[in-house]
Structure 1
Amino acid sequence: MKKLLPVISLIFLFSACEQEAESLQFLNYSVERSSENCDPQTEKCSFIDLNFPVASGNESREKNINQEIQNHLSYILGYEDEPNIGSVEDLADVFIRNYEKTKKDFPGYNTPWEATIYGEISYESDKLISIQFNSEVFEGGAHGYSSVTWLNFNPETGAIYSPDELFTEDFKAFIEEKFRKEQGVPEGEPINSTGLLFENDEFHLPQNIGFSNTKVILYYNAYEIAAYADGPYRMEFPQNEISEYIKIEL
Structure 2
Amino acid sequence: MSQKILSLLVIFLIFTSCRDEKSEAGVKQVKGDTEALSFYEESFLPKDFEACKTEKCPKIRVNYLKFREDREAAKEMNSYNQERLIKIFNNTEVASEAENVKAAVSEFIQDFQNFKRDFPEAQAEYEVEISQSVLSQTKKLLVLETNFYLFTGGAHGYGATRYANYDITSGELLYKKDLFSDLDAFTEFAEKEFRKKYEIPEGENINSNGFFFEKDSFALPENIAVTKNRVILVYNRYEAASYAEGELKLSFPKNKVSKWLNY
- What's the TM-score, normalizing by structure 2? 0.77
- For 1:56, give the aligned amino acid: R
1:28 & 1:239 partners in 2: Cα distance?
30
Q: Match for residue 78 of structure 2?
A: 66
1:142 & 1:223 partners in 2: Cα distance?
15
Determine if the alignment matches structure 1 residue 129 to structure 2 residue 136.
no
Q: Match for residue 9 of structure 1?
A: none
Q: Cα offset for 1:24?
A: 3.5
Determine if the alignment matches structure 1 residue 82 to structure 2 residue 117.
no
Task: Return 5+ residue gaps in structure 2 as ranges.
Answer: 1-33
2:54 & 2:57 partners in 1: Cα distance?
5
Task: Return 5+ residue gaps in structure 1 as ranges.
Answer: 1-20
- For 1:192, give the aligned amino acid: N
1:212 & 1:112 partners in 2: Cα distance?
37
RMSD of aligned alpha carbons: 2.4
> Sequence identity, in percent?
33
- The answer on whether the counterparts of 2:86 and 2:100 sit within 8 Å (CA) in structure 1 is no
Task: State how 1:93-112 maps to structure 2 within 5 Å.
Answer: 93-112=106-125
- Range that drifts further, 53-62 or 21-30: 21-30
**Structure 2 CA distance for partners of 1:102 and 1:58, relative to 1, 3 Å:** farther
Name the SS for the 2:202 alignment partner.
coil
Q: Match for residue 51 of structure 1?
A: 63
**Structure 2 CA distance for partners of 1:193 and 1:38, relative to 1, 3 Å:** farther
Q: Compare the two structures and name the one with the higher helix fraction.
A: 2
**Structure 2 CA distance for partners of 1:146 and 1:38, relative to 1, 3 Å:** farther
Q: Cα offset for 1:146?
A: 1.5
Of 221, 227, 236, 2:251 maps to 236
- Range that drifts further, 192-201 or 21-30: 21-30
2:118 & 2:144 partners in 1: Cα distance?
38
Q: Cα offset for 1:94?
A: 1.0
- The answer on whether the counterparts of 1:131 and 1:150 sit within 8 Å (CA) in structure 2 is yes
Q: Cα offset for 1:212?
A: 4.0
Number of residue pairs aligned between Structure 1 and Structure 2: 223
Name the SS for the 1:61 alignment partner.
helix
Q: Match for residue 191 of structure 1?
A: 206
Q: Cα offset for 1:207?
A: 0.6
Q: Match for residue 232 of structure 2?
A: 217
